[in-house]
């Protein structure tokens, strides 16, 4: 260890923070002579104390051993600069945790607010890229291993692309894939879903009608067809199509969720409430306790409206 650089940095960082040796000693629960000896290089802080000093001075432990380092206004800002460099998820979480502590104490500056937004902005970009990468990997495995997950990966990837403003590119790609492979039920289901995501409800319904003739056993098509009818104000037909999906057999009682949501939108809160409780009962029977609790929470929210 270069004790000269270390000791010089201890003093430099303290001065940059406009702290006296007495104030540092009080914060670290040591005596002033100890702080003085650290800065003179006579003795060194123990390993457990170093992180505390770093947080106090708005630096990382590594900064003590660098010839050219500066003290930030606070430790969260230093971690923000570290995350900006590494883009590592663990650095993001460490930084976020420090900012949340500042929030609770009411000590956020304008720079802190800007930094807090920035780290989330960078993480959003990273998460988007990672999500698309791994959706593509799941889709590349094909539907043979798990048809439901394959379909969900297709749907959620499409949903993300629409959120990112890439709906035209997605639609063009999907229409071409359906033309080249008209017997691919997953792509036909996805095409109806993308029409829904882009609020092209008439086209969604028209594609549902064409696809359901070719694939009458696809419950997802009837779920999507019902959603198209709901958006077009044809609720009676929507319920009929959702019932048809239920007769075929949905994966996770999807038709019940669709009906409950529709009832809520219609202001028929008692029906929505009762359906969510029915969903919870079915899920708990199947061993999905967490999902059942979520359905019960929805029921509780709706009950407050009754």
Domains detected in the chain: 1-69 (1.10.260.40), 72-128 (no CATH)
Global confidence as pTM:
0.78
Write phi, then psi, for 37 (nearest 5 degrees).
-65, -35
The confidence score (pLDDT) of residue 87 equals 93
* Count of all residues that appear for the chain in the document: 306
State the Cα–Cα distance between residues 282 and 274, nearest whole angstrom.
Answer: 12
pLDDT of residue 58: 85
Q: Which helix (H) or strand (E) holds 257?
A: helix 254-265
pLDDT reported for residue 8: 86
Contacts of 239 (CB under 8 A, 6+ apart): 226, 259, 262
Q: How far apart are CA 29 and CA 173, in angstroms?
A: 65
What is the C-alpha to C-alpha distance for residues 203 and 191, in angstroms, rounded to an integer? 10
User: Residue 2: what pLDDT?
Assistant: 58
Q: What is the pLDDT of residue 107?
A: 79
Question: What pLDDT score does 95 carry?
Answer: 95
DSSP at 253: -
| Separation in Å, CA 294 to CA 267, 277, 299 | 21, 10, 9
* Residue 265: per-residue pLDDT: 96
What pLDDT does 222 receive? 98
pLDDT tens, N- to C-terminus, the chain (306 residues): 557 888 888 898 888 888 899 999 999 999 999 999 998 888 989 888 998 998 888 888 888 888 877 778 889 999 999 999 999 999 999 999 999 999 998 878 999 999 999 999 999 999 999 999 999 999 999 999 999 999 999 999 999 999 999 999 999 999 999 999 999 999 999 999 999 999 999 999 999 999 999 999 999 999 999 999 999 999 999 999 999 999 999 999 999 999 999 999 999 999 999 999 999 999 999 999 999 999 999 999 999 998
Cα four-point dihedral sign 57, 59, 65, 68: negative
């Amino acid at each position: 260890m270069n004790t000269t650089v270390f000791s010089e940095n201890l003093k430099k960082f303290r001065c940059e923070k406009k702290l006296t040796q007495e104030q540092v000693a009080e914060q670290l629960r040591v005596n002033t002579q100890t702080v003085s000896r650290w800065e003179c290089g006579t003795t060194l802080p123990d390993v457990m104390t170093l992180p505390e000093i770093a947080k106090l001075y708005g630096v990382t432990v590594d900064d003590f051993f660098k010839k050219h380092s500066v003290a930030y206004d606070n430790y969260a800002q230093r971690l923000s600069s570290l995350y900006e460099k590494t883009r590592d998820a663990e650095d993001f979480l460490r930084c976020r945790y420090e900012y949340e502590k500042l929030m609770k104490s009411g000590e956020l500056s304008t720079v802190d607010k800007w930094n807090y937004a920035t780290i989330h902005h960078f993480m959003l970009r990273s998460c988007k890229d990672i999500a698309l990468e791994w959706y593509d990997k799941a889709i590349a495995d094909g539907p043979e291993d798990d048809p439901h997950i394959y379909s969900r990966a297709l749907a959620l990837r499409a949903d993300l692309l629409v959120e990112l403003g890439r709906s035209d590119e997605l639609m063009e790609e999907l229409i071409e894939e359906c033309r080249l492979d008209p017997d691919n039920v997953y792509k036909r289901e996805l095409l109806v879903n993308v029409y829904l995501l882009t609020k092209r409800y008439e086209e969604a319904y028209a594609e549902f009608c064409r696809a359901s003739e070719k694939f009458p056993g696809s419950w997802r098509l009837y779920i999507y067809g019902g959603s198209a009818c709901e958006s077009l104000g044809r609720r009676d037909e929507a319920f009929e199509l959702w019932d048809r999906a239920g007769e075929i057999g949905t994966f996770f009682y999807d038709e019940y969720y669709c009906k409950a949501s529709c009832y809520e939108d219609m202001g028929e809160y008692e029906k929505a409430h009762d359906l969510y409780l029915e969903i919870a009962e079915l899920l708990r029977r199947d061993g999905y306790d967490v999902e059942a609790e979520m359905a019960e929470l929805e029921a509780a929210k709706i009950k407050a409206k009754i």
